[in-house]
Amino acid sequence: MKCPYCTGQRNKVIDSRLNREGESIRRRRECLDCGRRFTTYEKVEDFSLMVIKKDGSREPFDKNKITMGMIKACEKRPISVNVVEDFISELEREFHERGEREVESQEIGERVIKKLYEIDEVAYVRFASVYRSFKDVNQFMDELRDLLKDKERAMDDQKLGIEKGQTSKPALELLKTEDDK
């Protein structure tokens, strides 16, 4: 460790303390060359996750950027900020567990859009309108039609008593008897 005053490399630690959050150690040091004291901080190196953008550029993973985008989409909707923060923490934890140093922005966007689809249709449409960058109203209407079809299918499945995650059989399949099969 170089002394910030004389750039000497000989120093000793006088005092060490853990910070409040327990994430770093504050060390008070004394330079053995000039006698002046200075403070250093020691912490575990962060797992720096990089995001590969559509244009090929890379930037550090920014949890706040995703949080702000989701909160904006959920504005004036009955969705707790905790739901958004828990999802983003889970997403980040998953990336860390995979051990990859880079992730494509498209993967992050698709995961966010899928989560919003699960929790609130209005938030999903808001986010999709920006994320998918619709070229015109027709593209936007196509997305809304798909959303309505999915909702109708889910309601039909619910009426038939089909659990979430299973797929409903077409009506003709339901009408077939064992002899027909």
SS3 assignment for 98-136: HCCCEEEHHHHHHHHHHHHHHHCHHHHHHHHHHHCCCCC
Q: Which of 51-55, 90-94, 110-114, 157-161 has the lowest mean pLDDT?
A: 157-161
Q: What is the pLDDT of residue 163?
A: 55
What average pLDDT is seen over the chain?
Answer: 83
Contact 92, 63 (CB under 8 A): yes
Task: Give the tens place of pLDDT for each residue, 79-118.
Answer: 999 999 999 989 988 988 888 889 999 999 999 999 998 9
Q: What is the mean pLDDT of residues 7-30?
A: 91
**Structure-block tokens of residue 134:** 């619709």
Task: Give the tens place of pLDDT for each residue, 20-49.
Answer: 778 789 999 999 999 999 999 888 766 688
Q: What is the pLDDT of residue 31?
A: 96
Q: Higher confidence at residue 121 or residue 13?
A: 13
Which run of H or E residues covers position 81? helix 81-98
> Structure pTM?
0.56
Q: Higher confidence at residue 44 or residue 51?
A: 51
Q: What is the pLDDT of residue 76?
A: 93
Q: Whole-angstrom Cα distance, residue 127 to residue 75?
A: 11
